[in-house]
Amino acid sequence: MAVGATATKLHMPSAGGRRPSLFHLAAVAVLCTVSYLIGIWHHGGFSASPAGGVASSVSIATTASVSCVSPTPTLLGGGGGGGDSSSSAPLDFAAHHTAEGMEVASGQVHRTYEACPAKYSEYTPCEDVERSLRFPRDRLVYRERHCPSEGERLRCLVPAPQGYRNPFPWPTSRDVAWFANVPHKELTVEKAVQNWIRVEGEKFRFPGGGTMFPHGAGAYIDDIGKIIPLHDGSIRTALDTGCGVASWGAYLLSRNILAMSFAPRDSHEAQVQFALERGVPAMIGVLSSNRLTYPARAFDMAHCSRCLIPWQLYDGLYLAEVDRILRPGGYWILSGPPINWKKHWKGWQRTKEDLNAEQQAIEAVAKSLCWKKITLKEVGDIAIWQKPTNHIHCKASRKVVKSPPFCSNKNPDAAWYDKMEACITPLPEVSDIKEIAGGQLKKWPERLTAVPPRIASGSIEGVTDEMFVEDTKLWQKRVGHYKSVISQFGQKGRYRNLLDMNARFGGFAAALVDDPVWVMNMVPTVGNSTTLGVIYERGLIGSYQDWCEGMSTYPRTYDLIHADSVFTLYKDRCQMDNILLEMDRILRPEGTVIIRDDVDMLVKIKSITDGMRWNSQIVDHEDGPLVREKLLLVVKTYWTLGEEKE
């Protein structure tokens, strides 16, 4: 053979005709074999078996892993050891810093990125309080998203406050949280008489009260259920504007209703942060000049309980936006001023005339949107309107009622820095007065797996019924694989708040519907962003997001982050470490990240994350080692202010 001949010539003595020795031939064979195996490994087709030992706590149960960089840092928080990455030491996904254990394990981590100063412990880059003061205060524009320029970006790791502990597991977390995690007492003083929140030693307690539900959120929701059907599965998604600590959303969960709660940054100190600490879906947001970051026809009901939004002003602009995001036949619920003002006007410290004028103005806007008031007489201080199921009558009424007009051809789903308009977002056309615009939704839980009307109607280009069904099956398989390689994934109470950074149809969330978790399904504004409407039609929640920017949430929001092909999607749009630093900001200490991508991309990612106090391991695709797409599994190490390991 050519190689053998060359080797013979190279090793042949100059003064004789001896044959090459057996030792020389063996050495050449070994070198060729090693070269061949390195080539396979480089192209993603080779993997090494994990270490045989089991971590001292519960550990990753992986069948095959690839460690692609040199030394893996020592794992903090107990668990598996560090050392040479070629040994593929299993990662420890168990939580250690909880009520029972606050010790910080010893060990050092080499890091490239320093900890941010203490003042950035609750940093929200696109809702930064100092930066917001540069913008107009009119209509709360200064509280909208205003992201830092590239030169203003923080390139450091946002620290947890000293004494931070893993939150209580759900459902305990609904009612109690650690004071050290959100060290703010302002709400306990400001809202003391309204029973929002109390401090009890080193804990916060959430009694379930609210400004307009003194008997608790459960009793308040029961009153709503006397008017509209909360118990038959026809209402699944809800929006809570000006949510406080999100007790309304928290108590809806036991009724299989999933609420998206939002409030401005620091309208009341850390209210959205409290909601997330409780394990309740919430985001920072405000009704101001931009559309809410949700598609048209998303929510089954929307709610405002003394949310202090001037619904009657600006030609009804804010109610027109609620109309856009309500599905046909959806409900809008209002309690607090001016509802039932005849009973409460003295306590609200406003005149009868003022409150009556406000109520009449709200009624007029709702009527102009073609909404029907269900509660002609308020029940328990609650008023409810219903959006029509189609716009046949509403369009006919425009011949008489000229304002507001129907919106022009603007995409009704566009909602990323798109401006609100005081016009009616037209519903899809129907041929019969009894037909539901856009298609009839199944009741929950059937709607989760039924083909969504947006796909069945062919309105999403290139997506068929069959593709949706196959996608649902695919994610059931993939989530099963995740649970096989991360044993804690199937452990009740280990995770609560989950984020899917590239949700597509929401298949990841749908596969987890029976687990005690909720998933925030983010649809990137690049690529096919039309799928967020499908996610809502399935009875799931989410938002649009550009991952070159920060997310509208507090630090330490999520227990687990799932990133499917995110870095390939953004490889030519922004720097990789900007996305990774944002992921670190919103991930809890000892939280988990699952990144799916091409193996070459994962190697680049790992080279950055090894300097971010993340411990990680590349493991095989669910279909085996010959697939180039692989998984990078990550554990964020535990560290807090004053406890950094240099």
Equal CATH topology for 159-397 and 451-634: yes
Percent of the chain at pLDDT exceeding 90:
66
Which of 360, 641, 635 is closest to 487 using CA atoms? 635
pLDDT at 266: 73
Which is more confidently placed, 411 or 266? 411
In a 13 Å sphere around the CA of 116, the CA atoms on its Cβ side amount to 22
Q: How confident is the model at residue 61 (pLDDT cuts 50, 70, 90)?
A: very low
- What per-residue confidence (pLDDT) applies to 111? 56
Q: In what order do the strands lie in the sheet with 282-284?
A: 282-284, 258-263, 237-241, 299-305, 326-335, 382-386, 372-373
Mean of pLDDT values over 31-42: 54
Classified as helix, coil or strand, 500 is strand
In sequence order, which ranges of 550-622 are alpha helices (DSSP H)? Answer: 566-569, 576-586, 599-609
Q: Check whether the bond before 13 is cis (ω within 30° of 0).
A: no
Identify the weakest region by mean pLDDT among 138-142, 310-314, 398-402. Answer: 398-402
Coil, helix or strand at residue 636:
strand
Q: What pLDDT is stored for residue 284 in this prediction?
A: 95
pLDDT at site 379: 63
Tell me the whole-structure pTM to 2 decimals: 0.84
213 DSSP 8-state letter: B
What does the alpha-carbon distance between residue 276 and residue 287 come to, in Å, rounded to a whole number?
20
Mean pLDDT of the region 625-643:
93
Question: Is 398's pLDDT higher than 50?
Answer: yes
d(CA 195, CA 213): 9
Q: Are 154 and 232 in contact (CB under 8 A)?
A: no
* pLDDT reported for residue 549: 97
Best CA proximity match to 237, nearest among 174, 131, 330, 104: 330
CA distance 337 to 340: 8
Band (pLDDT 50/70/90 cuts) for residue 433 is very high
Residue 349: pLDDT band (50, 70, 90) is confident
Query: At residue 458, does pLDDT exceed 50?
Result: yes
Q: What is the DSSP string of 249-313?
A: HHHHGGGT-EEEEEE-TTSSTTHHHHHHHTT--EEE---SSBPPSS-TT-EEEEEEES----TTS
Which residues lie closer than 8 Å to 83 by C-beta, 6 or more apart?
71, 72, 74, 89
Q: How far apart are CA 146 and CA 227, in angstroms?
A: 40
Residue listed under structure tokens 């989530």? 479
Q: How far apart are CA 646 and CA 644, in angstroms?
A: 6
Give the residue among 249, 222, 227, 218 at the shortest CA–CA distance from 236: 249
Distance in angstroms between the alpha carbons of the first and the last residue of the chain:
55
Helix (H) or strand (E) holding 366: helix 352-368
pLDDT tens digits for range 503-544: 999 999 999 999 999 999 999 999 878 999 999 999 999 999
Q: Given pLDDT bands bounded at 50, 70 and 90, which one contains residue 320?
A: very high
Q: What is the pLDDT of residue 271?
A: 83
| Angle between the N-to-C axes of helices 2-11 and 22-42, in degrees from 0 to 180, rounded to the nearest 10 | 130
What residue has token string 């069904």?
Answer: 469
Contact 384, 333 (CB under 8 A): yes
193-249 confidence digits (pLDDT tens): 455 678 888 998 987 766 677 788 999 999 999 999 999 999 999 999 987 788 999
Which residue would you say has higher pLDDT here, 565 or 187?
A: 565
Q: Is 159-397 CATH 3.40.50.150?
A: yes
**Per-residue b or e along 218-237, where b marks 16 or more CB atoms closer than 10 Å to that residue's CB:** eebbeebeebbebeebebbb
Residue 529's pLDDT is 85
Q: Three-state DSSP class for 25?
A: helix
Q: What mean pLDDT do residues 60-86 have? A: 35
166 and 97 Cβ atoms separated by less than 8 Å: yes
- 313 CB contacts (<8 Å, ≥6 apart)? none
* Secondary structure class of 8 (helix, strand, coil): helix
Q: Tell me the average pLDDT of the chain.
A: 84
CA torsion through residues 135, 136, 137, 138, sign:
negative
Closest CA to 644 of 267, 107, 3: 107
Query: What residue ranges do the domains of the chain occupy?
Result: 159-397, 451-634
Please name the residue that has the structure tokens 């406000």.
Answer: 358
CA distance linking residue 463 with residue 5, whole number of Å: 58
Instruction: State the Cα–Cα distance between residues 329 and 416, nearest whole angstrom.
Output: 25
Coil, helix or strand for 578? helix
Burial of 187 (0-12, 13-18, 19+ CB in 10 A): buried
> Quick one: which of 318, 312, 254 has its CA closest to 288?
318
> Which residues contact residue 98 at a Cβ distance below 8 angstroms, ignoring those fewer than 6 apart?
165, 166
Joined together, the tokens standing for residue 185 give 């007492």
Q: Which residues contact 243 (CB under 8 A, 6 or more apart)?
A: 249, 261, 262, 263, 271, 272, 275, 282, 307
Mean pLDDT for the stretch of residues 138-162: 94
Per-residue pLDDT band at 42 (split at 50, 70, 90): very low
Express each pLDDT in 265-306 by its tens digit.
875 567 899 899 999 999 999 999 999 999 999 999 999 998
Q: Which has more pLDDT, 256 or 187?
A: 256
Reduce the DSSP state of residue 418 to 3 states and report it.
coil
Looking at residue 48, its pLDDT comes to: 34
CA distance 133 to 327: 36
Q: E strands, 197-250, where?
A: 198-200, 203-205, 237-241
Q: Write the class of the CATH domain 451-634.
A: alpha beta
Q: Which tokens belong to 402? A: 């000229």
